[in-house]
A and B are shown apart, each in its own frame.
Chain A
Amino acid sequence: MKWNVDTELQPCRQEPVPGDHCCPVALDKQDEGVAGLAEAGGGSGDSGEHRSEAGVSAVTRAASVAAALAPVKTVVSSPIAMKICFFHLMPYRFLPDDFEQRYRSVWVDVPHHLHDPEKTRGLYHEFLDELEFAETQGFDGLCVNEHHNNAYGLMPSPNLMAAALTRRTSQAAIVVLGNSLAAYNPPLRVAEEFAMLDLLSDGRLVAGFPVGTSMDMNFAYGINPATLRDRYYEAHDLVMQAWTRPEVFSFNGKYTQIRYANIWPQPLQKPHPPVWIPGGGSVETWEWTAKLDYVYCYLSYFGYKRGKATMDGFWEASARVGADDNPFRAGFLQLVCVSETDAQAEREYFPHVHYFYQKCLNVWEGFAEAPGYRTVKTVQSGTRAQVGAAARRVRQSLDWGQYLDQGYVIAGSPATVRQQLTECIKTLRVGHLMVLLQIGSMPKELALKNTELFAQEVMPHVRDLWPGYKDRWWPSGARNGSA
């Protein structure tokens, strides 16, 4: 069987989703009954082409104009609940077989003679095809992220990939997780580029603000670990002010001084695109995120069983600062492999999963964490780095059964995956699930198979989790999920 996005699209169902082409005000007017009719697999059937003015039906356009002119009403959210996003790391999948024996690290000082630009040229198009295919399969969001000096994340600028996605997708949220604020000088650059992406995507942007890993920030970009967080917080304040203050303002920061802060353009979504904070388990980030009413995302490579302590920590921190327990406050990344049977899943996916854990996470201990990257409070809380010697010892010589038993990967037949994924979502209390379906060295055909099987055999069965909760962190221009 051939999996080709261009020629073998599944037929799309055509029910228009009210509000999906219109402004935030119109979206707010959606009522349960109407939104509830929307189906999975959405899109207008013309995936692969950017939505044109002509592609928006006159009725929808008229309705949205009318809605925009009508007074804003607060309406109970639709019953469409769980959001499921397709996450791509864009790994280099041609590392030599003996990579982890010969080279100490996949990150920071991985020699770039291992990188063949001719292969990478093809890779970017494969990866974008995979992301675009995910939209046609009904995924709610497409996630990209930022890494530097890294052979498993060929995305130093996720904004470039997000921009490419805006042209050939029209429904899914564009979830950039994110821009590491402290690395941008001035950080206004992030406010500007995210505003551009929000406009390009018609209000489908999720703005992710990670502190950034130590490898990326302290080693690849040379930022002082002692002041990284302080820089990050200050940069965040500047970006949010640039998006929300109505006047030209001055910003006299410790790290950035701007006499005339005044970004053009401003984002489409008001007051600003939803903000998600990818974190790695630092105590301060939990409380800060909850206080500011953002989404906390744990981008773990070690699965839902190990992720529970971190997510519990976030929920406890949320409660401490008086936030409610709305599952949409949380996001979680899980590796998933679906095949026809459990046995076939092992045959098809094990080499690629193994490539990911043994090669892609092979980080030299010295780079795992610059001194001062974790605060003393976090060190004392016992949260460990995801990479480095300790993590490597845990990973070494894992077999398929162990990857599964420990929950690193949820894999198997659709029935197996459905059951475990439900457990993952419920135990972590996650409203925004992100799944990694292209893993390690997985070639495009297999990635597309995994994506389609997941979308058709698994996704519909976890859709109705968390009814009754309102997702206040979903971009107003994106398809509001499906029922």
Chain B
Amino acid sequence: MPDDRTVEIRGGAVTFRVLAAGRGAPLVYFHSYHERSAWSPFLDLLARSFSVYAPSHPGVTGSTGIETLDDLLDLTLAYDEFLQALGLERAHLVGHAFGGMMAAEIAAVFPARAGSLTLISPLGLWRDDAPSADVLILPSDELAPALWHDPASGVARQWATLPVSDQESLAAEVESIQRRSSMAKFAWPIPDKGLKKRLHRIGAPTLLLWGDADRANPLVYADEWQRRVKGAALRLLPGGHMVLHETPESAARAIVEFIGA
């Protein structure tokens, strides 16, 4: 079981719930907002090679203070202070979807923080000719096929299962709205918040990981990222947008290999 604790910054105005496990060089994982749980088999696999820290974003259950963060820059600064509070001058940064966008922001604004950067189907760029799916608002029956290569797979069905009792169902609805509205605060209505102006500042070795059947954030964005982040490597894995949960072994191995190389 990962260690579960709370890290405060700004005298407690912002708190991060952070799960941590493993030994080795520090690696910080930034969640996508579609992960219902703060820990996953993918992180277990990474924890075999690294000291993994997985903070929940402010506004997501356990982390607080989103009302004090007005925009993406505020959130980026908060994560800088969070890393400071953990005593991590430098870490491997890994992020998925919105978390990938977040990791890239940190690596661009605070280049010294990033030992390496792994972006798994990151948001943050925009092309009018290939809009990423409007994942914040898709009803559940349309969201699952957008996120999962095979919505009928065990892991996808487990993700899609919601409680049946009214009380738990209301709690799940509140949790889901909180999660998505927290992302909306920083990414509404289009997730391009100017990152492209800052990407040239990234100095860390960068890996792009993408499911080859990603329907939520199409592959054209991989090209876009490669074009804008000098020297970024692209690794395609069989799977959809949730590739790190669909094939956690391949995803974790790709990261270990990349960082070890």
A366-B134, A379-B177 known; A372 and B184 CB under 8 Å?
A: yes
Q: Is the CB of A376 within 8 A of B174?
A: yes
Are B170 and A371 neighbours in the complex by a CB distance under 8 Å? no
The answer, yes or no, to whether A227 is at the interface (CB within 8 Å) is: yes
Choose, from B84-92, B136-144, B221-229, the stretch at the interface. B136-144
Residues A226 and B174 in contact in the complex (CB < 8 Å), given A366-B139, A366-B142, A371-B136:
no
Q: Is the CB of B184 within 8 A of A224?
A: yes
Q: Which of A349-386 contact B (CB under 8 A)?
A: 365-367, 370-372, 374, 376, 379-380, 382
Name A218's contact: one of B138, B174, B182, B189 (CB within 8 Å): B189
Min distance, Cβ B67 to any Cβ of chain A, angstroms: 9
User: Closest CB-CB distance, B61 to chain A, in whole Å?
Assistant: 12
Chain B residue with Cβ nearest A221: B189
Q: Is the Cβ of A367 less than 8 Å from the Cβ of B137?
A: yes
What residues on B are CB-neighbors of A380 within 8 Å?
170, 174
Query: Which of A371, A379, A380 gathers most chain B CB within 10 Å?
Result: A371
The CB with the most chain A CB atoms within 10 A, among B66, B139, B142, B183, is that of B139
B177 touching A376 by the CB < 8 A rule? yes
In the assembled complex, A222 has its CB within 8 A of some CB on chain B = yes
Separation in Å of the B158 CB from the closest CB of chain A? Answer: 22
Q: Answer whether residue A389 sits at the interface, using C-beta atoms and an 8 A cutoff.
A: yes
Residue in chain A with minimal CB distance to B138: A366
Q: Is A36 interfacial (CB 8 A cutoff)?
A: no
* Cβ A374 vs Cβ B189 within 8 A: no
Query: Could you say which residues of chain B place their CB within 8 Å of the CB of A370?
Result: 136-137, 181, 184, 188
The answer to the question of B178 belonging to the interface, with a C-beta cut-off of 8 Å to chain A, is yes
Closest chain A CB from B222 CB (angstroms): 26
Cβ < 8 Å to A, chain B residues 144-190: 170, 173-174, 177-185, 188-189
Q: In this complex, what residue of A is CB-closest to B181?
A: A372
Chain B residues with Cβ below 8 Å from A376 are 174, 177-178
Asked if A225 is an interface residue, CB under 8 A from chain B, the answer is yes
Minimum Cβ distance to chain A for residue B216 (Å): 14
- Which residues of chain A come closer than 8 Å to B66, judged between CB atoms? 226
Number of interface residues of A (CB under 8 A): 20
The smallest beta-carbon distance between A111 and chain B, in angstroms, is 17
Q: Which residues of A contact B174 (CB under 8 A)?
A: 376, 379-380
Q: Which of A225, A374, A389 has the most CB of B within 10 A?
A: A225
Distance of A59 Cα from B52 Cα, bound (Å): 86
On whether the beta carbons of A224 and B178 are closer than 8 Å, the reply is no
Assess whether B173 is in contact with A379, with CB atoms less than 8 Å apart: yes
The reply to whether A371 and B139 contact each other, CB–CB distance below 8 Å, is: no
**Distance from A405 Cβ to chain B, minimum over Cβ atoms (Å):** 26
Q: How far is the CB of B147 from chain A (nearest CB, A)?
A: 15
Contact A366 B137 (CB under 8 A): yes
C-alpha gap A219/B170 in the complex (Å): 25
Q: Which residues of B contact A374 (CB under 8 A)?
A: 177
Nearest-neighbour CB distance to chain A for B106, whole angstroms, equals 21
Query: Measured between alpha carbons, how far is A380 from B173 in the docked complex, in Å?
Result: 9
**Which one of B142, B179, B180, B189 has the highest number of Cβ atoms from chain A below 10 Å of its Cβ?**
B189
The reply to whether A226 and B185 form a contact with Cβ atoms under 8 Å apart is yes
Nearest CB in chain A to that of B188: its residue:
A224
The 3 residue pairs across chains A and B that have the minimum distance between CB atoms = A372-B181, A371-B180, A226-B185
B residues contacting A by CB (< 8 A) are 66, 70, 134, 136-139, 142, 170, 173-174, 177-185, 188-189
Task: Other than A226-B66, A365-B139, give 8 A-B pairs with Cβ distance below 8 A.
Answer: A222-B189, A366-B139, A370-B188, A371-B181, A372-B181, A376-B178, A379-B170, A379-B174
Binding site for B on A (CB under 8 A): 218-219, 222, 224-227, 254, 365-367, 370-372, 374, 376, 379-380, 382, 389
